[in-house]
């Protein structure tokens, strides 16, 4: 074989070798196992935290305010006390009975709503009080002084509203004046008169004619009263009619007539 033929054979073999290499490489590439893909890590779904339930704060129940109790207002010759008595009957003064209301001629038509209890008549009078002053006719107070076994020449008598005060010593003071006394209680208001004296008149004390003449005052819209043997020092009194209605007044139950 010539050199030329040898070179041709070598070249041909080299070409076949390259062809076989590339064909084998292609086959390996085609049938090779695919490289494993990384498993995707599932991202966890976020846990939904429930919103906290709103706590209902109860509204405070408003405390009802008590209805104000109207203050008693005194007015002369009107029955200002009647609305506060809560009587189970309507006072009626045109019949002959007294338990459901009555009037006396000198009361000028004022209707007393019923008979007061004995306890209301013999009530414990406040030591210091005030109200209206009136006076007796000539000789009447002196007669009461004598009736109590006292000497009218030595004792000045007065009348207070409660019969429980008979025999007590009192001092009196008109506005702008000094205390006068001592006086002795020798009379009191009658049971059927006391409501009128308190509610219609606002009365606290009645003095004798001679005392009123000496004072040149037979009636006064106000007089201060102190119950006690010694001349009073500091004094702070209550208005007796309103105090009595609030603290001492009781009306006897109405007695129904027999059928």
pLDDT at 171: 98
Are 194 and 120 in contact by the 8 Å Cβ rule? The answer is yes
pLDDT at 47: 53
State yes or no: pLDDT of 17 exceeds 60. Answer: no
- pLDDT bucket at 27, cuts 50 / 70 / 90: very low
- Count CB atoms within 10 A of the CB of residue 165: 22
Give the model confidence (pLDDT) of 149-207 as tens digits. Answer: 999 999 999 999 999 999 999 999 999 999 999 999 999 999 999 999 999 999 999 99
d(CA 14, CA 104): 162
Extents of the domains making up the chain: 82-247
Residue with tokens 């008598």: 157
Give the model confidence (pLDDT) of 199-246 as tens digits. Answer: 999 999 999 999 999 999 999 999 999 999 999 999 999 999 999 999
What is the overall mean pLDDT for the chain? 82
Q: What is the mean pLDDT of residues 97-114?
A: 90
- pLDDT bucket at 65, cuts 50 / 70 / 90: very low
d(CA 249, CA 27): 130
Out of 81-90, 91-100, 160-169, 171-180, which region has the weakest mean confidence (pLDDT)?
91-100
Class assignment of domain 82-247? mainly beta
Written as six digits, the tokens of 36 are: 């494993």
Question: How distant, in Å, are the alpha carbons of 172, 213, 214, 218 from that of 210?
Answer: 15, 5, 6, 10
């Amino acid at each position: 074989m010539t050199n030329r033929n040898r070179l041709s054979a070598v070249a041909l073999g080299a070409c076949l070798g390259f062809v076989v290499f590339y064909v084998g490489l292609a086959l390996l590439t085609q049938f090779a196992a695919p490289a494993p893909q990384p498993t995707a890590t599932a991202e966890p779904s976020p846990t939904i935290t429930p919103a906290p339930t709103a706590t209902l704060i109860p509204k405070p129940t408003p405390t009802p305010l008590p209805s104000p109790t109207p203050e008693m207002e005194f007015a002369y010759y009107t029955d200002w006390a009647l609305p506060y008595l809560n009587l189970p009957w309507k006072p009626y003064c045109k019949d002959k009975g007294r338990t459901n209301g009555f009037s006396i001629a000198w009361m000028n038509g004022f209707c007393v709503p019923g008979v007061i209890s004995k306890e209301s008549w013999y009530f414990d009078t406040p030591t210091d009080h005030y109200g209206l002053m009136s006076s007796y006719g000539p000789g009447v107070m002196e007669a009461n002084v004598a009736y109590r076994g006292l000497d009218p020449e030595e004792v000045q008598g007065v009348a207070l509203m409660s019969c429980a005060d008979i025999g007590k010593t009192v001092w009196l003071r008109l506005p702008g004046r000094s205390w006068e006394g001592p006086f002795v209680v020798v009379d009191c208001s009658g049971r059927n008169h006391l409501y009128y004296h308190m509610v219609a008149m606002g009365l606290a004390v009645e003095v004798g004619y001679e005392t009123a003449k000496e004072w040149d005052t037979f009636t006064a819209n106000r007089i201060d009263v102190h119950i006690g043997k010694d001349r009073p020092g500091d004094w702070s009194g209550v208005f007796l009619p309103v105090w009595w209605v609030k603290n001492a007044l009781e009306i006897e139950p109405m007695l129904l007539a027999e059928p």
